[in-house]
Amino acid sequence: MSNTQETGINRPLWAPWRIEYIRGKKEPGCFLCRMFAESRDRENLILHRGRTCAVLMNRYPYISGHLMVAPYRHLADPEGLTDEERLELYDLTALTIKVLRDVMSPQGFNIGMNLGEAAGAGLKDHLHQHIVPRWVGDTNFMPVLGGPRVMPETLDATYDLLATRFPRQEIC
């Protein structure tokens, strides 16, 4: 038996919800700007709205609890943030870490931004910060580069778990 067979790398992992995205019509423009302009927060996976930024779930997460903080204003680089936006981006990142610690008990976090296409930004024109909870032995870096990932919980279940833990009012 080859090493590939032993590790199960060739075993299929089913993700039927992805076909809607793959085959679906892609709307022009920025999907974050469109979601922020709407009032369908649960459907858009928006957990909290502040004055200048929001916390939302990543629709195609690396792991359960993969959240993002993004300014409402459409800009690609942190140099363009106002002082108020920069402060709220940080404050909401800190709040998100607290909520994830309280609800999901991760043992660590990966936090960062992918700026530009060369850095792996799937959405390169609207700045957003990733907050990814991590557990010892959960995965390694290879799935990020294109390997399989197993999600133990649906997005709706994760949303319901987290949504009540964010304040309904602005924090800044």
What is the predicted pLDDT for the residue at 161? 84
Residue 3: pLDDT over 50: no
Instruction: For residue 122, tell me if it sits in a domain.
Output: yes
- Which stretch of 70-79, 91-100, 112-121, 155-164 has the lowest confidence by average pLDDT? 112-121
Average pLDDT, the chain: 82
Domain count, the chain: 1
Residue 99 is part of a domain; what is its CATH number? 3.30.428.10
Tell me the pLDDT band of 17, cut-offs 50, 70 and 90: low
Tell me the pLDDT band of 158, cut-offs 50, 70 and 90: confident
Instruction: For residue 4, tell me if it sits in a domain.
Output: no
Residue tagged active-site, from 48, 66, 126, 128:
128
Is 109:132 a contact under the CB 8 Å cutoff? Answer: yes
Tell me the pLDDT band of 137, cut-offs 50, 70 and 90: confident
Q: Which helix (H) or strand (E) holds 159?
A: helix 155-163
Separation of alpha carbons 127 and 110, rounded Å: 17
Separation of alpha carbons 124 and 93, rounded Å: 20
Instruction: For residue 1, tell me if it sits in a domain.
Output: no
**38-72 tens-digit pLDDT:** 999 999 999 999 999 999 999 888 788 999 999 99
Residue 6: pLDDT over 80: no
Determine the average pLDDT of the residues in 112-133.
86
Residue 109, domain extent: 33-163
pTM: 0.75
What is the predicted pLDDT for the residue at 131? 96
128 is catalytic: yes
Instruction: For residue 12, tell me if it sits in a domain.
Output: no
Query: Strands, E, within 37-128: which ranges?
Result: 46-49, 53-57, 67-71, 108-112
Residue 9: pLDDT over 60: no
Separation of alpha carbons 42 and 13, rounded Å: 27
